[in-house]
Amino acid sequence: MESDPPAGVEAELRSKRMAYICWNDGASNFVEPGWEWFTCWRCGALVYTT
Ligand SMILES: [Zn+2]
């Protein structure tokens, strides 16, 4: 019943995600490997991971 290959790849990456601390409010954000940036779930600030 697995008919969605992209979802399978995403699930594999999800196990390796890391926590990044937002520079603005200190909230922990779980980020997928390979992401160069993300927006904080709490304050919406743009955070770079590299
Ligand atoms: Zn934040």
Task: Report the phi/psi class of residue 22: left, alpha or beta, with left for phi > 0 and alpha for psi in -120 to 50.
Answer: beta
CA of 45 from ligand 1 middle (Å) equals 5
**pTM assigned to the model:** 0.64
Going from the Cα of 29 to the center of ligand 1, the distance in angstroms, rounded, reads 8
With bands split at pLDDT 50, 70 and 90, how would you rate the model's confidence at 11?
low
Q: How far is the CA of 5 from the centre of ligand 1 (A)?
A: 32
Query: In a 3-state reduction of DSSP, which class is residue 2?
Result: coil
Chain centroid to Cα 48, Å, comes to: 11
- What digits encode the pLDDT tens for the residues 29-47? 999 989 999 999 999 999 9
